[in-house]
Amino acid sequence: MRALSVSPLSDYQVWWSLADSKYAGTALLVKHCFKPVSVKFSLESGASRDTHVPDGRVILAEFKTFRLLVTYAPNNGWKEEETSFQRRRKWDKALRKFVSQESKKPLIWCGDLNVSHQDIDVSHPDFFRTAKQKDYTPPNAEDVGQPGFTAAEKQRFSQILKDGGLVDSYRWLHKSQDFENGFSWSGNAVGKYRGKRMRIDYFLISEQLVGRLLHSDIQGSGIDHKGYCGSDHCPITLELSPATSTVPAHLPHVSSIDTDSTTGIDVKEITPEGVCP
């Protein structure tokens, strides 16, 4: 907390949504000169400002011309249990319902979404596709595989993108696989996951923002966690062009963080509207 009182973090206002334990949680940092219209911690339209999603997995900020959704999706797990497959199905259902709702403002959705959408989003597709826990095989074939890369998760993610009119900003700009810089999660440096990598952190944007998309990049590289800042996830960044020609091209950033004791810190940056000194 002391770091928040020292520049540059002292230039930002911070919103937190925390879990009861260190397992999960999200945060949103916005420069003081930008004032969100509202900030809430639930996807339910009628929820009060004090209502938080369990485990602190959601922050929804509404600005003058866009909405920013920060989420930390629960890991799918390995088994047909309430805290595993069933929990992730409920989460995906809630997100699909949210993005399907009509809104006059486009959506920017960032965070650890815990899913790799296509084969080019993982380093070793066959390894992840057939991975399973020892002595357990899921009853449904579509649930077999590495959490985040099962057929069921990928199908639900495709439906969320379609129903929400959303675009994967990184894949829109980077059509082919980048084996060095194209993954946001990297496995343990020792053991069978060494060199195994996944892209599970995203900036999804509404289709009407695609024309303003300048950059969507992954800031880490290699199997030795270069740029990962001590985490198994690395920062990702997004840059949009100004909404009008009267706004300078170099705008300040809004940053969001999802943090837990396992994944460390993932920083995502977006370019908001307006001018900030």
- Residue 195 CA to residue 166 CA, distance in Å, equals 30
Residue 225 annotated as catalytic: no
50 labeled binding residue: no
Catalytic residue among 52, 117, 225, 233: 233
Active site residue 135: no
Q: Residue 210: is it exposed, middle or buried by C-beta count within 10 angstroms (0-12/13-18/19+)?
A: middle
Q: Which two tokens stand for residue 113?
A: 């979404």
* Residue 52 annotated as part of some ligand binding site: no
- Which one is catalytic: 112, 121, 168, 258? 112
Cα–Cα distance for residue pair 2/78, rounded to 1 Å: 38
| Cα dihedral across residues 249, 250, 254, 259: positive or negative | positive
Q: Is 75 annotated as a binding residue?
A: no
- Cα–Cα distance measured from residue 184 to residue 186, given in angstroms and rounded to the nearest whole number: 7
Q: From the candidates 12, 55, 72, 121, which is the catalytic residue?
A: 72
Contact call for residues 111 and 268 (beta carbons, < 8 A): yes
Answer yes or no: 217 catalytic.
no
Q: Which residues are annotated as a binding site?
A: 112, 114, 232-233
Q: Which residues are annotated as a binding site for Mg(2+)?
A: 112, 114, 232-233
Enumerate the active-site residues.
72, 112, 233
